[in-house]
Structure 1
Amino acid sequence: MTTPTIDTHVRLDAHPHHSSAVTAVLTGSQAHIAHVGLEADNWCVVAKNTLVLARIDHEEPYWAQ
């Protein structure tokens, strides 16, 4: 018996304007699976299949380097 694969792709990239943020673009027929997981981990939805995770606190300059 073959295990079915999940048709989901997550492309992570640095945010174009904020060095301490990461974007995730989700594609595939089952992208909602990754979407739910990222939202549960405090990623912010900015478009239908695009989420952003940003670090904004007093340590941001340290981690941005």
Structure 2
Amino acid sequence: MTPAIDAHVRLDTHPTHPSAVQAHLTGIQARVAYMALEAVGWSAAVTGVLVLARIDHEESQ
């Protein structure tokens, strides 16, 4: 049995860009989740927060 890691990811829409999603990372081993998300295209915004944005059209105002 694989032991659980102490990493928590809370997903939310970006407050100013409706086509983007934020991941808020917490927990002692949040670095594990951070590296996994970065590997699939998420970008660091600030400490503990990554952003995944879809930029294939103009956002509505």
Q: For this structure pair, what is the TM-score category when the shorter chain's length is used for normalisation?
A: 0.7 to 0.9
Gaps of 5+ in 1: none
Gaps of 5+ in 2: none
Superposition misfits of 4+ residues, deviation over 4 angstroms = none
1:12-45 CA-partner distances (Å, limit 9, x unpaired) = 0000101100000000000000000110111010
Give the structure 2 partner of residue 47 of structure 1.
46
Give the structure 2 partner of residue 17 of structure 1.
16
How many percent of aligned residue pairs carry the same amino acid?
A: 58
Q: TM-score, normalised by structure 1?
A: 0.82
Give secondary structure in 2 for the equivalent of 1:52.
strand
Larger radius of gyration: 1
Structure (1 or 2) with the greater helix fraction: 1
Deviation at 1:47, TM superposition (A): 1.0
